[in-house]
Structures are given as structure tokens and as C-alpha cells.
A and B are shown apart, each in its own frame.
Chain A
């Protein structure tokens, strides 16, 4: 069972301190949401977990420092879906999703039967089987988001970090993706998703981290994190919060001007 540990993590991009002193431990079988306003440092925190930015403090996966693991070894343990990814070449959907198998290939080996199975499985789960031969740069926003998610799933890593997986998805596909991520966690994976839709976050995540100005403001079950006071303090919004019933809802009432 995989464990990801953050111990007093800070990240500076140039002179700007983007993440400040965040500690948390994530266990397998959890869908963790990272929420917070634009520029709060959510994506940078996610990138730090993949050793894509230099950081202070410790980030370890099962006790191994992520920055010291060879890139390919880390890639087999943490799959990553970056935010708003650009595709630089017009690959077919199948070829693009196949890139997810790169961490598993030896220097000279080619995609084998086991890889093909993983690719098929990822395509089936993200519901993109019928897009297989399409040019990935010519898909609609929603199709593209699902294809990129399938690419991340094809890695079949125990940890999946998804940065804004719901961006540009219609409500139906948002539910599909959240259910997929939830199922992934239920099956024993650790899924960490940067999210903006608080209702979706409350509905599907087991645990939420609320981040503001690089600091961890709250960490816990959605009901404990998404309180009226927290939303007011962090987002500057007045909101009606009802997380007790079967369908958690957060309704934004208005902006609070200081």
C-alpha cells in the first residue's frame, strides 16, 4: 500500500515563495482534493510531489525521496496529468495514450502485449475506445480531457496526480471523471486532484486540502474543510454550504469586498 508523505514542504519559484511549510501524509485508497483560489500554489504543490520543481522539506513515496529516485522509477510510481496540456504533434489517440507506457519500457524494448492490455484498459475506463484512430489535436475539449486522463491511467501507477482534470468538461463528463477517480481510489490507488469545483470536491473526495497563499489552511473531511468561514476567509465569497445531505451543495451567494 502506497504512502506519500510531505514534511514541511516549501517551494520558491524565482524569488516568489509559492508553497509554504505544508505537511501531510496521504495513504492508498484515498481520493484527495486540493482546493484553493487561483494562484494559491496548488499546481506547484502537485509539481513538487513529482520533483518537477526544487523544494525545501521532504517529499517521500514509501520512504523514498521523490527527488532522488531515478526519473523512470518515479514515473512508474506516480502518474501525472498536467494542467491544460498542449500536444505538440498530431498523434493518434491510441499512440498518445501509449506514451503512458514509456516508464515501463527498457531502453531497447518495444510496446508489448502487456502494454497493449494496459492501454486498452485505460481507454475503456476513460471511455475513449471509439476515438482510437482520431488525431488527438483535433478532438473537442471534452474528448481531449478524457484522452489525456486515459494517457495518465495507462501508466498504471499506484499514485495518480491530476491537475484540474475537470477543466473544459461538461457536467456529465465531470461526473464521469470524478467517478473514475473515485473508483481508482476505491480500488486501492492514491489519487490527488487539484480541483476548482467545490461541490464536486465535496461530493467525491475523501479528504480535502484547502490552500491559500501557499499555506495549508485546512486539511480533513470535506465537511470540516469547506465551512462558511473558511470559504469567506480564503475565497472572499459568501456561500451557502450544505454538506450534510445526500447531495452536498455549495452555492456561491456573492463576493465579499474588504
Chain B
């Protein structure tokens, strides 16, 4: 099993690396590999330097950071809730983070400084966590948490709709809509530095839960009887998701389905225990988002496709597969 797991991890790392290189090379202006190597070595020409360091490198790094976080959060939540259809949005975190960003655009705060939007977004994600705790109470059942999450998500969603409804002019509404579709376009290293600590903290908290998630295969009583402290497990899971996903949404907008698709695709290659899927889902998430972001750039459309749109389209076949399996058609 260890050999198979290493092979899986190695394949995913190789895939991520290859797509990351692709992400640096491809775009409106294709850069040659040699040019990139020269720029990374510190003696590239000026245009390559600007494209690489101001545009492509931050975009590539963000795809990796955001994708890894979304993939891992999906895998951890599926394990915790023991539901293969769970993903970060079920806790309402993504919507809450989006609401913060939308508020920043709506009130014009986003124009004050590029960091205002992401910071507000992370703040609302953390606030939503407080609300989630208040609603879910001390209960350890997954259903209570899902219901509380739906309540938080709906509230935040209503807030977003309200701001669209009341938006002062069509341009503000357009800006909000564009942001909600999720994108990595025109992001800078500033965004990387915002997302990175949030995602690193979130990922560490979620990866720490691996063993507890395995024990939860036996249900809550079974897990506790195996020495799992469910209260702490839940704290780590909720904080990890809120901080990490909050940070990811803050810089990239709402990008759904990565957390759903990746664990699904990778589970058959593992021993199917929840812990075995965590790390592969993080790496796989990075690769998937890199690929989706490449697709956004390569597919020629009149205005650039948005990332969230591409991942939503990718999510549909996963649901269909699940449906077919449930109906035993496949």
C-alpha cells in the first residue's frame, strides 16, 4: 500500500509541476522555456520579466495555493461528515468570505487599497465560523453541522443577492458578478502573501485530523472509544476550513467544486480511508486548478472565461457519475 501511495503522490506532484510550467509558458503571449529560465536566473529581458514576475508567477502560485486548500478542505470535510458530496461550501465559509468581498466592492472600500477586499473577506469567513458554532451548539452529529452550515451559507447568499439588488449602478453589479465567478486574473504577489499564511495554517489544522477522520469511519461512538477527542477534532476542522478557505476565496473569488471533484477522482487510487485521501487531494487540487486556469487562458472566448465557471462545468460529470453508481447503471 505504501508503494502505491508513493506512486500516486509522485504522479500528482509531477502533474502539478508540469501544469505549473505550462501555466508560466502559456497565455496571450507565449513565453519560451529558455526565456523563463533566463528570467528566473535573473538575466531575462524586460518584457519577459514583467510578464513572468508580475503576472504569470503570482497567478501560478495562487492556483497552487488555492487549489490545494480547496482540494484538501473537500477531502477533510467528506471524511468528517462521512458524506462523499461534502465540500467547503457546505459550512457556509465560501459564501461568507464572498459576502465580505462583495461588501468591500459595494461600499467602494475595495478601491482604497488592494488588500482591503481580501482582509474583509477573511474577516467575514471567521465571523461566519462564530455563527456556525452558535448555531450548531455542542452537538457532534454531522447533520446538525450541515444544517447550521446551510443556514450560514443561505444568510451570506442572501446578503450577496441584496447587494446585487441594491447596487448603486450596473458597473458595481457587474464588478460583483465578475468577482463571484472566481478568477486568478491580474493577481499580484500581494495576494500570494495574503493567501499563503491562511492556507498554510488551514492545511496544517486539517492534515492534523487524519487519524481522527479514519476513526470516524466507525461513527462517533466508535471514534471516541478509539481515543478521538471529537470536540477538538471539530474545532480543528472548522478553524482550518474557515481560515484556509476564507483566505483562498479572499484572493480568488468563489471557485466551487474543486473540493468535490478531486477527492472523488483520487479515492479509487487509495485504500479509501479518509486520511489517505487528504494529501493527494491537496496536490490534486493544485493540479486541477492549474489546469482549469490554463483552460481559461487557452480557450478563446470574446471575454475571458472565469475559473469558477470552468470548475462548475467540471463538477457536473462527477455528480452524474455518482448518480449512475447509486442507480447501479455503472
Chain A contacts to B: CB under 8 angstroms: 47, 50, 52, 70-76, 78-80, 82, 85-92, 95-96, 99-100, 102-103, 105, 151, 155
- Cross-chain contact B218 with A75 (CB below 8 angstroms): no
Taking a contact as CB atoms under 8 Å apart, the answer to whether B271 and A75 are in contact is: no
3 A-B pairs closest in CB distance: A75-B227, A72-B227, A80-B225
B206-238 vs A, Cβ < 8 Å mask (1 yes, 0 no): 000001001111110110111111000000000
B297 at the interface (CB under 8 A from A): no
Residues of B within 8 A of A50 (CB): 221, 224-225
Complex: how many Å from CA A47 to CA B216? Answer: 17
- Chain B, interface size: which category? 20 to 34
With a cutoff of 8 Å between Cβ atoms, the chain A residues found around residue B82 in the complex are 88-89
Q: Report B-chain residues with C-beta under 8 Å of the C-beta of A95.
A: 271, 273
Does B272 interact with chain A (Cβ within 8 Å)? yes
> How far is A172 from B225 in the complex, measured between Cα atoms in Å?
29
Given A70-B227, A82-B219, A95-B273; 16 other pairs, CB 8 A cutoff: A47-B221, A52-B221, A52-B224, A52-B225, A71-B227, A72-B227, A73-B227, A78-B225, A82-B225, A87-B217, A89-B82, A91-B271, A100-B226, A102-B226, A102-B228, A103-B226
Which residues of chain A have C-beta atoms less than 8 A from B272's C-beta? Answer: 89-91
* Interface residues in chain B, defined as those with a beta carbon under 8 Å from any beta carbon in chain A: 79, 82, 211, 214-219, 221-222, 224-229, 271-274
Which chain A residue lies CB-closest to B267?
A89
Give the residues in chain B near A80, CB-CB below 8 Å: 221-222, 225
Residues of B with C-beta under 8 A to A86: 219
Q: Which residues of A contact B274 (CB under 8 A)?
A: 89
Q: How far is the CA of A80 from the CA of B271 in the complex (A)?
A: 24
CB distance from A81 to the nearest CB of B (A): 9
Task: Give CA–CA (A86, B57) in the complex, Å.
Answer: 47
* Residue contact B219 to A75, C-beta cutoff 8 Å: no
Which of B79, B217, B226, B273 sits near A75, CB closer than 8 Å?
A: B226
* Cα separation A102 to B215 with both chains bound (whole Å): 8
Find chain B residues with CB under 8 A from A92 CB.
Answer: 271
Beta-carbon contact of A102 and B214 below 8 Å:
yes
Bound CA–CA A75/B218 (angstroms): 14
The distance from the CB of A51 to the nearest CB of chain B, in whole angstroms, is 8
B227 touches A103 (CB 8 A): yes
Minimum CB distance partner of B222 in chain A: A82
CB-CB under 8 A from B273, the residues of chain A are 89, 91, 95
Can you list 12 A-B pairs with a CB-CB distance of less than 8 A?
A52-B221, A71-B229, A75-B227, A85-B222, A88-B218, A88-B219, A91-B272, A96-B217, A103-B226, A103-B227, A105-B211, A151-B218
